[in-house]
Amino acid sequence: MGQEALRGTLIKQGTVIEKALKELGAQGQGLKQLTLSVDDQLTPEVRAALRHIIHLRNAAAHDADFSVDTQNRAKLEQNLALVTRYFAQSPRKMRASRKNSQPKKRRGSRLTLFFRLFFIGLVLMVGYLLFPGN
């Protein structure tokens, strides 16, 4: 594959990845912002792969003298395969990971706080009554 074909592939794959990130709930403009907005939902391997893809995609889109050596091309192919497999997971798994990434809000936390503060106040009042100051 020539450099121009690779440039086209990178830009096309970038668009596909952007769409997948938006389906995951990503917000922002551009591949980097979208990736950063769902960073906590991605595995470390996928984050690293996306950083490499974003770097090369931006170079392909903005540098007139864009070229990729053999080593980076092999790494790019591995990273594209990794990211493609990740986003090919069933939507249920991706929704579950998004759901679990949010901290759970405990029910009745205001009520619990009220009782704790009430108990502390009660202990202080009993203390003043039992041990009056001079």
Q: What range does the domain containing 49 cover?
A: 3-104
67 located within any domain: yes
109 located within any domain: no
Phi, psi of 60 (to 5 degrees): -65, -35
70 located within any domain: yes
CA pair distance 3, 129, nearest whole angstrom: 85
The reported pLDDT for the residue numbered 96 is: 44
pLDDT in tens, 89-122: 845 444 444 445 555 555 567 778 888 888 888 8
51 located within any domain: yes
- Total domain count, the chain: 1
Backbone Cα Rg of the chain: 26
119 located within any domain: no
The reported pLDDT for the residue numbered 36 is: 92
The pTM (predicted TM-score) of the whole model is: 0.64
Q: Which two tokens stand for residue 41?
A: 């939902």
Q: Which two tokens stand for residue 37?
A: 């907005």
Q: Which two tokens stand for residue 127?
A: 């203390």
